[in-house]
Structure 1
Amino acid sequence: MGSLKQFIKDVRNANTLAKERSIITKESAKIRTQLRNDQLEISKRRSNIQKLLYLYILGEKTHFGQVECINLIASDNFINKRLGYLAAMLLLKNENPDLLTLITNLINYDLQHSNKYIVALALTTMGDLCNAELAIDLYPDVLNILNKRLDEPYLIKHSLFVASEIILKAPQLIIQFTNDGLIGKIIKNYRNRSLRTLSNCTHGVLLAVLQFMKICLLQQKQQKQEPGKEFSEEEIQDFDETIKRNFTPLIPELMEILKTCHTNSFEPEYDVNGVSDPFLQVALLQTLTLLFSSNLDVDVLKNDLQYLLTNIATTNETNNRGFSVQYETVKTIFILDLDPSLRVLGVNILGKFLNSKDSNNKYVALNTLLKVVPIEPETVTRHKKFIVRCLYELDPSIKRRSLELIFAIFNKSNAGELISELIKFLSQSTESDKGLMLYIVDNLLDLYFDSVNNTHTTFLSEADQFIMIVALLKYCGKFIYFDRLSDILLIVNNFKQTETKKKLTVELLSKLINKGKDNKKEDDDYYYYYYDNNYGWKLISCWCCGEYGDLIHNEFLDDQLVSFLTSLNQEFYSQSNMHMINYILTSCLKLSIKIADKQNIEKLRQLIKSHSMDANLILQMKANQFLVLFNEPAHVKRGILDVMPAFSKNVATVGVKNNGNGLSYNEDSVSKGNYKTFNNKNQQTDLLLDLLDDIPANDTTSALANDVSASTADMNGISLPTSSIELYTSKDYCLKIYGNITSIADNEANLDIFIQNTATNNRKGTNLKIFIAVSKHQKVTLGHLSDTIIPSNNGGMVKQKVRITGEGKLKLRVRLQFLDETNNEKTIQFDYKFDEKL
């Protein structure tokens, strides 16, 4: 057998996959054979294990070398022991816990070794492989090192890091690791002799101490949130007292160290490009944040902390090392909810990040500003110029975060400016930005209806609405889902000024009717890109042609309007798009009373008649009904086919109240279909009674979307935010439900619910309905549901917007109803409690 170096060369020089596989297979067989030889020289055993580690890197099977790792660890030779521990950390990672029991005694022996480097190897391996059983078996040895070898900072550093891992794996050992028996001597020693001047307290030890403190504080917080899971209430109380007794006296010392980081007297060996040990500064800020938020009765020190943070925040840093410290400072400011002037300073720091050339800084700033908006909306809005500039970054994740922040700062005063910027962005977007374009459409329309529902007026003038609609249709019309097109129709229908309706109709129809008028190639290309394949533009144009045909006589001849509808009929009937044909038939019927030329009226009648024997039964019935109406007297037709009245978009709601004798329902209205409102008198809904039968509830909302059966929307436009959390997994129906809180402030929370298909066999669900219940002190309103069809592709998603108002803990009961691929009704129900409160 050759050396490791030769083996690596052979693998790399293999010119085919088969040859590479042959070399690896032969070498694995040789290694397996030699490891069985008890008389093999130790140097060759070492070489075999080295090759085995290379095979591990290549992803090959290495289980046959696990016992040999343990043999090397048992050797007295440091080189063998070092390689054995390295191999154990790789080859035994995530293996059966029974294998780890083989190494327990060896680690126990080495933890008591006189050579500190051997002890450090054992500690490192223990920290890497630690599970609950190993932690319980070996924690006394770690305690012993911390108690008896305080004069060796190298071991103290490793021991504290391992102690942190032990606490994570076996929380029941927290009390043992937080009493005076473990860290009492270390903390007391540091307290008596300042952490800054203790000769044995290197920065490595400081970082280990801070890591240990952070883990203890985080575990304390978790146990308080879930009492009884690991500790009794008495144990939690004892633990709190231990934390206060050992950690509180350290706060002034930690603040002094942080302050020293910004003076010339700080140790130059820890300087990183002009910044004094940014790693230590970040760790100090994180630990101080936890200490001040852990109810340790340290409010008297808050003024000193605010002064210190002000000094750090006002330091003019121009590199990533300094930015990392300033970013952690900003997080501390907002987590602890410090002075308003500090919060403004924190937002300004994030604004400086937005102007950085580094994409990572921009992403971090955008992500943090999203969380800060509810606290300092006006201050964040001042940086809208830099936020908008991020739209034109190459990184799609930065574009997405920028869009989210733009809509977070959207208000009446800046609506016109931001919409102009969004339209400019859409005009420069390509099909690769489809997801972002649909995100803009969804949020602009949602903002419009939210403003109307909340204030009975919109933040946009009709002129601005006109510009917005034309832009959305032009740049996004080929992608927009049908339910969003219905929303656009609703806005158009509710225009108060006849002139605006006329202007929009002319704008839409002129691009389609005057196609290729100049007969120039560049004009044809421009038309094809924006209008020819633009389903949304054509659908809205068709609707406006029938609804407002009488307003555009001076711009278009009757022949042109009739020819336009005829060409649309030919185009979409060849595509078997029956949904569009329905719109065309309705427009033909409506246009027939708005033009005077009898020849063209007859053409419209013939177009409708051509579908009277259609194979599609619904289309056939509609065509025959329209023909009957066509033959009615003119005054009858005008009464029936008059322009549509103004409508409001209502979310389907059923009010619920507790009258002391169970649940009863208030009279309310339910919205169904294309925004037709019905009175709901004495509504009885067994489903909601079932949903709320075991929790007190104040309000439930059912998302009943428009009929989108003809929609072929691509659900890949919906992406799952990185901050989402998994609420529920249904293995039976191959669905995962995620939740993402977009904002929470002032007794109001906004969140998105994502339903993701995880099936690999093209399973999908249709006729999706979502019901949500909250506690009696809260009210829930469901906004837009992206689709009633759960996509069949693996990873496809449906998105539901939710708004909850009131007070108390944020907890939901969610019920999903849908039809599976065999049209059988399926139901999923679950409860979820968020950490956040209203």
Structure 2
Amino acid sequence: MARDLFLEIEGLLSTANPYIRKKAALCAMRIIRKVPDLQEHFIDKTKLLLQDRNHGVLLCGLTLIIDLCIHDPDLVDQFKQYTPVLVKQLKALTTAGYAPEHDVTGITDPFLQVKILQLLRVMGKGDSGVAEQINDILAQVATNTDSSKNVGNSILYEAVLTILDIEADSGLRVLGINILGKFLSNKDNNIRYVALNTLIKVVNLEPNAVQRHRNTILDCLRDPDISIRRRALDLSFTLINETNIRVLVRELLAFLEVANNEFKPAMTTQICLAADKYAPNKRWHIDTVLRVLKLAGNYVKEQILSSFIRLIATSAPDLQTYSVQKLYSALRTDITQEALTMAGAWVIGEYGDLLMKGGAYEEEELVQDVKQSDIVDLLTGILDSAYVNNVIHEYIMTSLMKLTTRITDASQIERVRRVLTSSSDSLDVEIQQRSVEYGNLFGYDGVRRGVLEKMPPPEARSDDRVLSDAGPGSKKSKSKIPPPKAKSGADDLLDLFNDDTQATPAPPSQANGHSDILDLFGSGSGGAPQQAQAQPAASSVNNILDLFGSSGGASAAPSTGAPSSSSLLGDMGGLVSNATPAPAPSGHTVYNKHDLLITLSLQRNADGFVAIVARFQNNSLTEHKTGISLQAAVPKSQKLQLMPITSTELPPQGVATQQMRVQGSQKPPLRLRLRIAHNQVTDQVDWSEPA
């Protein structure tokens, strides 16, 4: 229809009736939007509209031209010759007296002024010649328009946008930013919001001009309107530089203290990034991040915490002493902030010897003498508190273990040993593993001191990032604590099973823990050391077996080195060497397809736990099984803990095992829903324990 009628609309643009011309201009705009290739037919007639004496026709003509130029920037050059005409019209509007016909609260024809400013902005963008022609009229509009009325503010806002969008001189841009600064003190929330939004976009163009309104911007942080506070906060962060870092961060920390929780994750990150970039000295940097941890430690991201630890580790010894004393004092006051607790635990464990030396950590105040028992009391008190979670538990365990090489009191070292080994039956695999390994380290003082010596300063991952991959979590003082386990896997499994069950996905396959301990003790050496290592290794295995309620213990052959994986798990279902065919398995067969046989061996304990060993056997004589995994789900009234499979690949006639532990199944039958994957095959099995 547009193609059929555009010729008639083109003719109506030059009709004698101004009302028809106005409507034809609006109709032409909609035709061009639907059929852009028809625009060339309207350009000549549209140019005539710019000189029309009728107010309505001129207004609609400007709307049509703005639309044309925005959708096809190549057309801008065809209208630039009319810049003097537009300037003359705008000047007449700003200097004209009272005109009742198009007056709005004392402002002459504000709608037409806004449209002319918008078109001048389109034509002057990137063109210094046009910008020079319109500089004077923009300055005139900016200074003569009444800002006490909302209508005048709308014209001023368009004038500021035009000034900031074209190549205006610096003085004119400063004038525009000052207008926005004046908007910030307006009582209308909408005007303040618009001003903040615009200042964020132009702060890089005229940073010094925006800095002059810093106090007004900071006042907006206390505005009752949350949208105003959010925009003011974003703008405040863009204003930070080397000269005002102390003042602005002090104001932002004051706001952080009373901010809504939704602001805190972004605020903590931004403040710490700004401190890292512009900090005048390391002590101020440490104080600032410590203040953030105290105010919003539950909202600090792991990468920021890692960066803080790296900052302390790379500081001079006197700053390390200062940091550990401040963190110790902070933890004695408040253990409710997670990031503060983790940072304090790491630093106290690493620099506990500096903490006990004492010294000045405030200009007027001396740290009280810190006893070895005080440090242990603090960390064990955190373990017993309601604020401890698995990650904090891991931090505290590692910190206590490090302290055994920093303190000298034998009674406190023994106390730490008892605290660490008390977690050997934890349901969390990471905590359980640390407890067993740390407990074994107490039998080898020389090795323990070497393993737990102070860490070298970690390096940042890249120069352009404040975030470091060498984080506060460390295992055996050398490896990073993993972040809390994501729940997405379990949720996916629940969706898969679509039942009233609790799912536990299989953890990723990992190296044999027994071998890790032997490596730690230096099992690569020959004869005599291997003989000495056999006994503690067997003790570690027994601890693991006790957790699963095994009636028998694993024994390490005294005449050999590290026991094989088959001897390690022989009492729990047995690993048979891949090199020899496996005997017929005992237990309940739950899966026998595609040459893969899976059986379950169950053992019930009096406390309601069921220890399960899943045994995987590749019955094929030629095919390797790869990508083997087992996921399991139990009813929601029960809890399931799933250990890693010993191997995700099986050669022909090969065997692997996987351990499970179910809590809450007081009596048979036990119900399981299993998801089995291997060689890109996935099966699901429902299994109930035979009566």
1:310 equivalent in alignment to 2:139: yes
Which structure: larger Rg?
2
Partner of 2:90: 258
C-alpha distance 648-273 of structure 1, shift in aligned 2 (>3 A): farther
Indicate the residue corresponding to 2:502 in structure 1.
none
Q: 1:334 aligns with which of 155, 164, 171?
A: 164
CA drift of 1:613 comes to 4.1
Amino acid at match of 1:356: N
- Residue type of the partner of 1:579? V
Asked if 1:177 is matched to 2:42, the reply is yes
In structure 2, the partner of 1:508 is 327
Separation in structure 1 between the aligned mates of residue 158 and residue 275 of structure 2, nearest angstrom: 37
- 1:218 is aligned to 70
Distance 2:255 2:42 in 1: 56
Shift of 1:183: 3.3
Structure 1 479/303 Cα, relative in aligned 2: closer, same or farther at 3 Å?
A: closer
Cα distance in 1 between the residues matched to 2:71 and 2:328: 65
Counterpart check, 1:539 vs 2:353: no
Relative to structure 1, the CA distance from residue 675 to residue 468 in structure 2 (aligned partners, 3 Å threshold; closer, same or farther) is closer
Asked whether 1:279 is paired with 2:115, we answer no
Give the aligned residue type for 1:446: L
- Please say which of residues 326-335 and 316-325 is displaced more in the overlay: 316-325
In structure 1, how many angstroms separate the alpha carbons of the residues matched to 2:487 and 2:384? 20
Of the three residues 442, 446, 453, the one matched with 1:642 is 453
SS at match of 2:461: coil
Matched, 1:595 2:407: yes
Structure 1 segment 516-555 matched on structure 2, within 5 A: 531-553=334-356, 554-555=368-369
Q: Could you tell me how far 1:532 is from its partner in structure 2?
A: 5.0
Letter in 1 for 2:269: D
CA contact (8 A) 2:350 2:454 kept: yes
With over 3 angstroms needed to count, the CA separation of the structure-2 counterparts of 1:392 and 1:253, relative to structure 1, is same
Between the aligned partners of 1:400 and 1:485, the Cα distance in structure 2 is: 24
Partner of 1:728: none
Aligned pairs for 1:70-81 within 5 A = none
Could you tell me whether the CA contact under 8 Å between 1:593 and 1:638 is conserved in 2? yes
Q: Is the 8 A contact 2:343 2:472 kept in 1?
A: no
1:173 offset after TM fit, Å? Answer: 1.1
For 1:302 and 1:601, the matched residues in 2 are separated by 77
Q: Distance in 2 between matches of 1:135 and 1:300?
A: 37
Q: Of the candidates 379, 382, 390, which is equivalent to residue 578 of structure 1?
A: 390
| Per-residue deviation, 1:308 | 0.9
Query: Which residue does 1:760 correspond to in 2?
Result: none
Deviation at 1:566, TM superposition (A): 1.6
Shift of 1:628: 3.4
Measured in 1, the distance between the counterparts of 2:108 and 2:18 equals 21
Counterpart-to-counterpart distance in 2, 1:358 and 1:368: 16
- In structure 2, the partner of 1:154 is 19
In structure 2, relative to structure 1, the CA distance for the partners of 1:318 and 1:371 (3 Å cut) is: same
Label 1:706 to 1:612 Cα distance change in 2 as closer, same or farther (>3 A): closer
Please state how far the C-alpha of 1:139 moved relative to its aligned partner: 2.5
Count, aligned residues: 474
User: In the alignment, what sits opposite 1:387?
Assistant: 217
Cα contact 2:131–2:166 (8 A) shared by 1: no
Deviations 1:56-83 (A, max 9, x none): xxxxxxxxxxxxxxxxxxxxxxxxxxxx
Contact preservation (8 Å) 2:324, 2:347:
yes
Which structure has more relative contact order (CA 8 Å, sep 6+)? It is 2
Residue identity opposite 1:545 in structure 2: I
Q: Superposition pairs for residues 709-724 of structure 1, below 5 Å? A: 709-710=484-485
- Equivalent-residue separation in structure 2 for 1:302 and 1:266 (angstroms): 29
**1:557 — aligned with what?**
371
Confirm or deny: 8 A CA contact 1:167 1:215 kept in the other structure.
Answer: no
Note the alpha carbon deviations across 1:421-470, whole angstroms, 9 max, x for none.
Answer: 111111222xxx22322111111233344x3xxxxxx5232332233122
Deviations 1:661-711 (A, max 9, x none): xxxxxxxxx9856399xxxxxxxxxxxxxxxxxxxxxxxxxxxx9943447
Structure 1 counterpart of 2:624: none
Distance 1:606 1:244, change over 3 A: closer
CA deviation vs aligned residue, 1:139-195 (integer Å, no higher than 9, x gap): 233223223x3x3222221221121111112111111121x3x436x44xx64xxx5
The alpha carbon displacement at 1:638 in A equals: 4.4
Q: Which ranges in structure 1 are unaligned for 5 or more consecutive residues?
A: 1-133, 225-239, 452-457, 515-530, 654-669, 677-704, 714-764, 768-820, 825-838
Relative distance call for 1:380 and 1:565 in structure 2 (3 A) is same
**Matched residue type, 1:183:** T
Structure 1 pair 706–215 and aligned structure 2 pair: CA distance change class (3 A) = farther
Q: 1:409 to 1:513 in 2, by over 3 A?
A: closer
Structure 2 counterparts to residues 471-490 of structure 1, below 5 A: 471-490=291-310
Counterpart amino acid of residue 563 in structure 1: D
Task: In structure 2, give the amino acid aligned to 1:505.
Answer: V
Asked if structure 2 preserves the Cα contact closer than 8 Å seen for 1:652 and 1:671, the reply is no
1:313-347 residue CA offsets vs partner (Å, 9 max, x unmatched): 22352222212111111111121121111112111
Please state how far the C-alpha of 1:216 moved relative to its aligned partner: 1.3
The equivalent position to 2:381 in structure 1, one of 567, 571, 580, is 567
Output the CA distance in 2 between the equivalents of 1:218 and 1:168: 11
Determine if contact 2:458/2:470 at 8 Å carries over to the other structure. Answer: no
Quote the Cα distance in structure 1 between the aligned partners of 2:199 and 2:427.
56
Residues 244 and 552 of structure 1, relative CA distance in 2, 3 Å threshold: closer
- Under a length normalisation based on structure 2, what TM-score does the superposition of the two structures give? 0.63
1:228 corresponding residue in structure 2:
none
Map 1:393-792; keep pairs closer than 5 Å.
393-429=223-259, 433-449=260-276, 451=277, 459-498=279-318, 500-513=319-332, 531-553=334-356, 554-571=368-385, 577-633=389-445, 637-651=448-462, 674=471, 707-710=482-485
Contact 1:652 1:672 in 2 (8 A): no
Deviation at 1:560, TM superposition (A): 2.5
**Kindly tell me: are residues 602 and 300 of structure 1, through their superposed partners in 2, closer, same or farther at Cα, counting changes over 3 Å?**
closer
Whole-Å separation in 2 of the counterparts to 1:419 and 1:511? 20
| CA distance 1:613–1:249, shift in 2 (3 Å) | closer
Rounded to whole Å, the distance in 2 between the matches of 1:244 and 1:534 is: 61
Q: 1:537 to 1:671 in 2, by over 3 A?
A: closer
Contact between 2:424 and 2:436, CA under 8 Å: does it hold in 1? yes
- Distance (Å, rounded) in 2 between the aligned partners of 1:244 and 1:671: 51
The answer to whether the 8 A contact 2:104-2:110 is kept is yes
Decide whether the 8 Å contact of 2:373 with 2:412 is kept in 1.
yes
Whole-Å Cα distance in 2 between the matches of residues 671 and 507 of structure 1?
Answer: 22
Q: CA deviation at 1:712?
A: 8.9
CA-CA distance at 1:388 after TM superposition: 1.2
Partner of 2:203: 373
8 Å contact from structure 1 (residues 355, 362) kept in 2: yes
Residue type at the aligned position of 1:443:
Q
Structure 2: which amino acid aligns with 1:362?
R
Identity %: 30
Are residue 145 (structure 1) and residue 12 (structure 2) matched?
A: yes
CA RMSD of aligned residues (A): 3.3
Instruction: Provide the C-alpha distance between the structure 2 equivalents of 1:343 and 1:155, rounded to a whole number of angstroms.
Output: 41
Q: Structure 1 CA distance, aligned partners of 2:77 and 2:330?
A: 73
The amino acid of 2:471's aligned partner reads N
What is the DSSP-based 3-state SS (H/G/I as helix, E as strand, rest coil) of the residue aligned with 1:407?
Answer: helix
Over residues 486-520 of structure 1, what are the superposed CA-to-partner deviations in whole Å (9 max), with x where a residue is unaligned? 2232233333252x444443443335436xxxxxx
Structure-2 residue corresponding to 1:118:
none
Checking the alignment, whether the CA contact within 8 Å between 1:483 and 1:708 is kept in structure 2 is: no
